[in-house]
Structure 1
Amino acid sequence: MAKISNEEQSLLAPFYTVDQGLDKIGAGLFQFNVFVYSGSLRAFHALIDLQLALLIPTWQCEFALSNFQLALLTAMFPLGNMIGVNPLGYLCDKYGRRRVVNVANIFIILLSAVSAFVPNFTWLIIMRFMLGLIDVATSMCTTYCVEFMPARWRSVAVVSISLFWTLGTCVLVGLSYLLVPIGWRYLVLVISILLCIPPVHNLCVPVSPRYLVEKGQLEEAKKVLKLGARLNCRSLPEGELSTNIQSVQTYNSTCQQQQTKKEGILTIFRKKYRLTTFIMSVIWFTCGFLGYGAVLITADIFTYDNHCINHISNTSMSHFMSHCNHLTPQNYFDYLVTTLAEIPGIIVTVFLVEIIGRKITFILEFAISGIGFCLLFICFPFETTTKTVLLFIIRAANAGAFNLTFLYTGEVYPTVVRARALSILSTFSRVATILTGFVSQVLLREHFQVAIGLFGTVGLLTAVASILLPYETRGKRIE
């Protein structure tokens, strides 16, 4: 009998993909470590992003800001996000999510600490812009988390990760309640110290095996999977780790993968993804518009405890809303209650996406958000409890939709362009948050019902647009 050479044996050996390897080792300590790291990035991102919502009344008093200046200040952080998101997404695809995020975290710590000492409005604008420019890197944590999860646990992990955002927001409210009366600069300094935690944890998490496979580093990717198998007390499939263009794929899949690599980010505009990309652009915009809008209008909404908006003239309303007011303990409590709405919103979404699918969940949650804003639009003597309940429902529904947006984007696009696709689409969310500042802090204070009606209309129209999504990604293996 003729002997088979080692080279021929390697060709006959079975292969397995990263997906098959992750499914075999299951979910355990390996994924939990990545999940906590990615979640901590979301939590600390909330500390940076949302501190403006709680510090606006203080900044308006200290720097004597007009409503337009407040809107301009609000726009600086998302404007920085929008400019920085594509370059950082490219760097994440080229050099790896973990490495880029760690470098970005170091700059964020420095910028945050410096922003505690700004002397005037101009420097405040500059520092918020710089923080937005760099902090956008932390949004890549969801992509990083997606690439470690078995298909069965992917939706649960990616949607649940946003509970850390809620946790970060609750911590921010608590710290603001304690430190802002002493001085808002103390709050910013304490946050800067807390931001040192993610870079330390970064040393304990591995490089994405999908990223390593795409770079042709199969041995390094296999080492990561072996580490996962050891931590989860499981074993890898027999055979050699394969890229998606080796023998485990058909010839057509090979050609498609090679074409995807050649086209790069243009892949998301090909016929296969064109409609998806358009609708996801609308969804990302709406999530930013409604989510950030609900946060920014909370203080203003609670100001009208015993008044119907139609009974207040535009002139008196503008004067009333531009008056220098610090947040009261009740305001902090109301912020906390409406923020906690994100927890049931996220938990319900975890179950809905697996029971009724991604598309129907999008439709349902955008419809609820739109209807909630429409109820705020209807003028009757709102009591604090009524407004709190409505804002609770709005923020719960939008939190679920926003986190589903990250999940769906991570599932529908291939690995070679996933981070950049997330970067490009999330740009629409940044555009929305820039506009939200002017709607929430200028238009709302001049024409309350026009602003609230705009929020409701956008939510309902996006619910209709979600019907047209061409793909349902529940149970789909990511490419």
Structure 2
Amino acid sequence: MMRSLKSAIQRKDPEKIPLTATGHRKGQTTDTFTVEDAVEKLGFGRFQIKLYLLCGVGYVAIAMAVMIITVLSSELNCEWRLSSWQQASLSTAVFIGMMIGSFLWGKFCDKYGRRTYFLFQGGIAAFVWLFFYGVLSAFSPTFNWLLVLRMFVGFGTAAFPVLVTLCVEFLPRRQRGQCVLFLMMFWAAGSCLEVGLAVAVLPTLGWRWLLVFTAIPSLIVAICCKWIPESVRYHVASGQLEKARETLQRIARENKSSLPPGKLVALVITEKRGQFRDLFTREFRLTTVLLWFIWTAIMMCYYGIALMTTELYQADGNFCGVPDCIGYVDFIIFHLSEASQDQNQVSCYAACKKLSGDAYQNIFITTLAELPGTLLVMLILACLPRKPTMAVAFAGFSIFTFLLLTCAGRTWLTVFIFVARAFISGGSQLPYVYTPEVYPTTTRALGTGTCSAVARVGVILTPFVAQVMLKYSVHLTVSVYGSICLLAAGASLLLPIETKGRSMQETGQEKLRR
């Protein structure tokens, strides 16, 4: 062990050198310290709590903007007589915007900074964009206009990978995983708030006012965004050591703590930040490919079970005793024509049917599953490393999704969906913990943003599975989601790097620069 420590000191590998009581690493001269040393020494205090709460409110705003699709389609169907493909295309439009925004803004953040992103888009903050197009979509004269405007809303919701990246970079190693996971509680709160808002607004004021009220939290976040400082890790990686020290001193004052004595030093400074090819170096190639698949599978399943829940409860939860096309159409008229009785041909017709009070209640109950689900995954994460925790969460979702095929009735349908959503809600947040930890500062936002962008491919496809395929075969639809998430569980175990307790890298080639 002593030989390993001595070797790490000689190589100047800060990740493997423990901190001393003064906030320095063994073997490191006491007249210098790194940003990792400073973040660990400052600890978790008032500054992190304020930043965390602001990011949490941002999560609420984004969750409301995204999860409105789960309650909006039936209202739009009654106004514009939409086909199932058109209803699915509304969800897809939001996710296309998210895919474009995730990639572009991830690259932008690594090159120009995290805070710059918030102050650039929309003139004041990313959430101004979200508020503006959220309200504007309420005035859509036609369905096609609504599609375009909701795509712009999706572009604005691409802020949440940057929120996670910014939050993670200010957190000490010990609190990092639990804090990022706990952000999902804010997402769950936003989802529940959206369902509750729909119950209050849709029957009285209609879907246009629901869109307006949904956009208001984005304006609140936009007003508060000026308080957010730039990431000290970005400043250090870009060679702006004085600005980084000023931010660290500000954190020290708010936390009533102090910086390690000496001068802030940087690891190797590079101007080549946010380079796409850096995601496919020998060290990260396998990690990047596996993460792309995991993100795609998990986001597809997370939104898929949410959309499928609405469809199932619209069909009164009874889909096993009748042909597959029954029970998945908004309102079914089952008709055996006399001319085709011998061939047992079945015709299924869709018409306007709004969600009932019981349906809203069940959707709200299953959405609440995200709260205990996140707490459960947090407990598992405290005991297990990142990779097996992801595997447990994803496998749990698969098991309870496959149990839907038992056709045990409406009560058990609610139970199975509740537990499945509990596992996938906590599990969907785990890639947000792992991905920023595994990539260095120079490509962290790009790595997270690119994973989020690639994941939108699965999310773009999932409305056509949960809202179109479901109308023809529940068995095939459930099998798709259960199988994909089971494969994601296996992929998480194949990830080559375990990040629990690991220092966050600055460049991927950790050489100390005096």
Please indicate, yes or no, whether the TM-score normalized by the shorter chain is above 0.5. yes
TM-aligned CA deviation for residue 375 of structure 1: 0.7
- Structure 1 residues 173 and 316 mapped into 2: Cα distance closer, same or farther (>3 Å)? closer
Are residue 311 (structure 1) and residue 322 (structure 2) matched? yes
Are residue 244 (structure 1) and residue 267 (structure 2) matched? yes
What residue number does 1:382 align with? 409
Distance 1:314 1:60 in 2: 18
Which residue of 361, 380, 398 corresponds with 1:333? 361
What residue number does 1:56 align with? 73
TM-aligned CA deviation for residue 354 of structure 1: 2.8
Q: Is the 8 A contact 1:302 1:387 kept in 2?
A: no
What residue number does 2:209 align with? 186
Amino acid in structure 1 at the alignment position of 2:368 = L
Are residue 168 (structure 1) and residue 185 (structure 2) matched? no
TM-aligned CA deviation for residue 351 of structure 1: 2.4
Q: Is the 8 A contact 2:398 2:485 kept in 1?
A: yes
Are residue 276 (structure 1) and residue 276 (structure 2) matched? no
What residue number does 2:228 align with? 205
Q: Is the 8 A contact 1:159 1:407 kept in 2?
A: yes
TM-aligned CA deviation for residue 268 of structure 1: 1.6
TM-aligned CA deviation for residue 131 of structure 1: 1.1
TM-aligned CA deviation for residue 452 of structure 1: 1.0
Distance 1:215 1:456 in 2: 44
What residue number does 2:449 align with? 423
What residue number does 2:23 align with? none
Distance 2:357 2:113 in 1: 44
Are residue 365 (structure 1) and residue 393 (structure 2) matched? yes
Superimposed CA distance per residue, residues 421-471 of structure 1 (whole angstroms, 9 cap, x where no aligned partner): 111111222111111010011100111111111111111122122221111
TM-aligned CA deviation for residue 40 of structure 1: 1.3
TM-aligned CA deviation for residue 310 of structure 1: 5.0
TM-aligned CA deviation for residue 90 of structure 1: 1.7
Unaligned runs of 5+ in 2: 1-27, 120-124, 333-348, 506-514
Q: Is the 8 A contact 2:319 2:327 kept in 1?
A: no
Superimposed CA distance per residue, residues 165-187 of structure 1 (whole angstroms, 9 cap, x where no aligned partner): 11111111111111111211111
Are residue 21 (structure 1) and residue 44 (structure 2) matched? no
TM-aligned CA deviation for residue 105 of structure 1: 1.4
Query: Per the alignment, in what secondary structure is the counterpart of residue 314 of structure 1?
Result: coil
TM-aligned CA deviation for residue 117 of structure 1: 0.6
Distance 1:163 1:322 in 2: 36
Q: Is the 8 A contact 1:306 1:381 kept in 2?
A: no
- Structure 1 residues 447 and 144 mapped into 2: Cα distance closer, same or farther (>3 Å)? same
Distance 1:205 1:307 in 2: 49
Amino acid in structure 2 at the alignment position of 1:235 = S
Superimposed CA distance per residue, residues 16-64 of structure 1 (whole angstroms, 9 cap, x where no aligned partner): 1111101111101010111111111111001111111111110111111
What residue number does 1:452 align with? 478
Q: Is the 8 A contact 1:16 1:237 kept in 2?
A: yes
Q: How does 1:208-247 map to 2 (within 5 A)?
A: 208-245=231-268
Q: Is the 8 A contact 1:306 1:382 kept in 2?
A: yes
Amino acid in structure 1 at the alignment position of 2:499 = T
TM-aligned CA deviation for residue 230 of structure 1: 1.2
TM-score, structure 2 as length reference: 0.85
Superimposed CA distance per residue, residues 393-426 of structure 1 (whole angstroms, 9 cap, x where no aligned partner): 1111111111111010010000110111111111
Q: Is the 8 A contact 1:51 1:172 kept in 2?
A: yes
Distance 2:365 2:494 in 1: 34
Distance 2:137 2:409 in 1: 38
- Structure 1 residues 73 and 263 mapped into 2: Cα distance closer, same or farther (>3 Å)? closer
The structure with the largest helix share of the pair is 1
TM-aligned CA deviation for residue 304 of structure 1: 4.6
Distance 2:170 2:277 in 1: 25
Q: Is the 8 A contact 2:42 2:252 kept in 1?
A: yes
TM-aligned CA deviation for residue 83 of structure 1: 1.8
Distance 1:19 1:117 in 2: 49
Give me the identity figure in percent.
34
TM-aligned CA deviation for residue 322 of structure 1: 3.0
What residue number does 1:342 align with? 370
What residue number does 1:324 align with? 352
What residue number does 1:121 align with? 143
Distance 2:107 2:328 in 1: 46
Unaligned runs of 5+ in 1: 1-10, 246-256
Query: Per the alignment, in what secondary structure is the counterpart of residue 261 of structure 2?
Result: coil
Structure 1 window deviating more from structure 2 (448-457 vs 83-92): it is: 83-92
Q: Is the 8 A contact 1:354 1:474 kept in 2?
A: no
Amino acid in structure 1 at the alignment position of 2:493 = I
Instruction: Give the superposed CA RMSD.
Output: 1.9
Query: Per the alignment, in what secondary structure is the counterpart of residue 94 of structure 1?
Result: helix
Distance 1:30 1:114 in 2: 35
Q: Is the 8 A contact 2:185 2:371 kept in 1?
A: yes
What residue number does 2:61 align with? 44
TM-aligned CA deviation for residue 277 of structure 1: 1.0
- Structure 1 residues 224 and 270 mapped into 2: Cα distance closer, same or farther (>3 Å)? same
TM-aligned CA deviation for residue 312 of structure 1: 2.4
Amino acid in structure 1 at the alignment position of 2:457 = V
Distance 1:464 1:361 in 2: 12
Q: Is the 8 A contact 1:301 1:387 kept in 2?
A: no
What residue number does 2:110 align with? 93
- Structure 1 residues 193 and 356 mapped into 2: Cα distance closer, same or farther (>3 Å)? closer
Q: How many pairs were matched up? A: 455
Query: Per the alignment, in what secondary structure is the counterpart of residue 107 of structure 1?
Result: helix
